[in-house]
Amino acid sequence: MARRAPIHQQITSKKAPKPVGAYSQAVLVEQPGSTLFVSGQIPIEVPSGDVFTGDIKRQAEIAFNHLRNIVQDAGFQMDEVVKCSIFLTDLKNFESINQVYQRFFVGGALPARAVVEVSGLPKGVGIEVEAIAMKKGAAADDLFGGAPGFG
């Protein structure tokens, strides 16, 4: 069976840590409009590769900086992030994380967001963040020919 061409392009930023498993930092889907799926980012310091497990605000700053670097290296801006998921090992850190989050996401087009407490995260960190960003694509009428329920 012939292998079909991939529908997405792997995105790699040298300003964020290399994946610690079998995944991409992000993938870009260009049809119908460019969509970027950024894998979970944890507080790994670049370029040393050291995992930072100290102050949770600093952990969040490192993880969100990685997220922003990947988004920008893929040709997107933070205001094109449409969904952000935040995983915490202690939901009591919500307010601290939210203070950091608000420095990265500003303006009237804030992304949808979920904050979830989990029992553990890779490398013993307290936070992991992932995101989806989109660029404006074709109109629904162009894609679906005016089919009922679209556009």
The 3-state DSSP class for residue 59 equals helix
Using one digit for the tens of pLDDT, what is the confidence trace for 20-61?
766 788 888 877 778 999 999 999 999 999 999 999 999 999
Selection from 40, 38, 42, 84 nearest residue 59 by Cα: 42
Residue-range domains of the chain with CATH = 9-136 (3.30.1330.40)
What residue type is assigned to position 14 of the chain? Answer: K
Mean per-residue pLDDT pooled into runs of 10, the chain (151 residues): 68 88 79 87 96 97 97 93 95 96 86 94 97 75 53 50
- Three-state DSSP at 148 gives coil
